[in-house]
Structure 1
Amino acid sequence: MNDLVVDVGNSRIKWALAANGRVIGSSRAVAHDNLELLFAEWSRLSAPPQRVRGVSGPASAGTQAAIAQWTTTHWDLAPHWLETPATGGGVQVAYPTPAQLGTDRWLAMVGARAAGKAPACIIDCGSAITLDVLDAHGQHQGGLILPGLAAQQAGLTGLAPGLPRVDWPNSTPFPANNTPDALASGYLHGTAMALQGLLQRCATNTPEALTAVLTGGDATLISRYLDRSVTLRPDLVLEGIAALQ
């Protein structure tokens, strides 16, 4: 039988089926305000899962409770919500207080190691952009957090409400000759250049050749602006949940 693995993020809920430590097929995603669609998709599964395992941040307590109520009512299964351990899934967390490390970050490292990508520099491009370095033995070297694309735009337009909001194009001019393109170029090229510099700094600080692994909702978009090759693993957190036996 299959497991249901769930990643309750800040803006979306991603899920997939998993078996034998691996995600089966592609993931699905819905917005937090569309739980009816999520539950309709689950109700159409050919059979109930054997287990429901997931990750959810403290800001998503309401969504977590709604999911638990649905799975308990329809499948008689209470979800197991994972928390960051000091050591787990082949990863030793560098934080002295492991609970301070987002569980999604730990799971992304578990997923990268299970996929044979360690040593790695793992970048999760979501509401926040997180970076974590993992060595070949599964030792977390630490990481950092910076604002994601949506957070950058929200912060700037909040401070300067006269500026327009922009969509995220697949390509944008550099330099730009109008304000919307200049904003998009700044967000996208600026983020990409920052990540390239951070990747270079990580490479300088470790004797191992690190694989740059990008995941998260904006990973594909940001990767187009990087002047280097990266490995895209859009379901890395789900892969990490699946890898835990």
Structure 2
Amino acid sequence: MLEPNKILLVDVGNTRVKYAIDDGQRLSTIMVVSRLSELPLGGFSEIRVATVSRHDEIDHWKSEIAVNVRQAKVIKQHHNLTVAYNEVERLGVDRWLAMLAVWCEKKTPTCVVDLGTAITADYVSSEGVHLGGYIIPGFSLMKQSLGNNTACVGFGSNGKGVDPGSVTEACVDHGINRLVRGFLKDLLQAEPACHSLVVTGGDSSRLDYHGFEADISVDEALVLRGLRYAFE
């Protein structure tokens, strides 16, 4: 039996599929599966999906299930959030959904940072205007670049340290951690009106956020919560 207010929210990333259940009042804990075929489908009135790149896979999956699927697309102005891009289709929908969730829930100037395969950062003003952002390689891409182009560089344990390493693996991990921490601190200096960072993404737990002179919060459900607002 369908439950009118029960919606499955799905974030299809590059390497994994995250989902949560919205019962009309609250969001469940985030769950992770490897493939779309592993998602639970029973009892939902609809499924809302976000993806940046796996469109063909989603189209095939949609053709095989009976539940109504709505796929999020970036809108130039929605809930009074205005996107900076003139060609809105070139803005990753995950970035837009994360900004949308923060804007709808906070209404304050914020920098939204996604620590994923790529690291993205987007500024939202106190008026809900997207001021643009940055994209740099993520932790794994940086590490892969070193491994592919430098001899004898190993892969470490992905710890949170930033002190000088005493083995090559720690030198790599701690160096990347220091680079990303420096990038986050610089984001706050680059836009003086922005006093807070909201960090999301699969690598959001990779960093130690102590020592930042700003309001920093980690929220792994931003994209999923953005799906709540995207169709309103």
TM-score by length of 2: 0.89
Aligned CA distance change for structure 1 residues 23 and 129 (closer, same or farther; 3 Å): farther
Partner of 2:19, secondary structure, is strand
Aligned counterpart in structure 2 of residue 233 of structure 1, from 208, 212, 219: 219
Provide the alpha-carbon RMSD of the alignment: 1.9
Partner of 2:22, secondary structure, is strand
* 1:111-151 per-position Cα deviation (integer Å, ceiling 9, x unaligned): 10122153110000100000000012211011110011011
Aligned counterpart in structure 2 of residue 24 of structure 1, from 18, 24, 27: 27
Partner of 1:230, secondary structure, is strand
Count the aligned residue pairs.
225
Q: Which amino acid aligns with 1:214?
A: V
Aligned counterpart in structure 1 of residue 6 of structure 2, from 2, 7, 11: 2
Partner of 2:158, secondary structure, is coil
After superposition, residues 1-245 of structure 1 pair within 5 angstroms as 1-20=5-24, 23-31=26-34, 34-36=35-37, 38-39=38-39, 42-43=40-41, 47-58=42-53, 60-70=54-64, 72=65, 76-116=66-106, 118-169=108-159, 171-172=160-161, 174-203=163-192, 206=193, 209-222=194-207, 224-225=208-209, 227-228=211-212, 229-244=215-230, 245=232
* 1:155-180 per-position Cα deviation (integer Å, ceiling 9, x unaligned): 111111421122211x3251222211
Q: Which amino acid aligns with 2:67?
A: L
Contact 1:189 1:225 in 2 (8 A): no
> Relative contact order: is structure 1 or structure 2 higher (C-alpha 8 Å, sep ≥ 6)?
1
- Unaligned 5+ segments in structure 2 are none
Partner of 1:220, secondary structure, is helix
Aligned CA distance change for structure 1 residues 117 and 148 (closer, same or farther; 3 Å): farther
- Unaligned 5+ segments in structure 1 are none
Aligned CA distance change for structure 1 residues 173 and 188 (closer, same or farther; 3 Å): closer
Q: Which amino acid aligns with 2:188?
A: L
Runs of 4+ in structure 1 over 6 Å off: none
Q: Which amino acid aligns with 2:161?
A: T
Q: Which has the higher helix share?
A: 1
- TM-fit CA distance, 1:89: 3.5
Contact 1:213 1:232 in 2 (8 A): yes
- TM-fit CA distance, 1:4: 0.9
Q: Following the alignment from structure 1 to structure 2, what is the Cα–Cα distance between the partners of residues 61 and 226?
A: 38
Partner of 1:85, secondary structure, is coil
* 1:74-120 per-position Cα deviation (integer Å, ceiling 9, x unaligned): xx223111111111243100111111110111100111012215311
Q: Which amino acid aligns with 2:173?
A: A
Q: Which amino acid aligns with 2:17?
A: I
* 1:205-243 per-position Cα deviation (integer Å, ceiling 9, x unaligned): x3xx43210011111222x15521411111100011012
Partner of 1:227, secondary structure, is coil
Contact 2:94 2:223 in 1 (8 A): yes
- Bigger drift between 111-120 and 124-133 goes to 111-120
Q: Following the alignment from structure 2 to structure 1, what is the Cα–Cα distance between the partners of residues 199 and 134?
A: 14
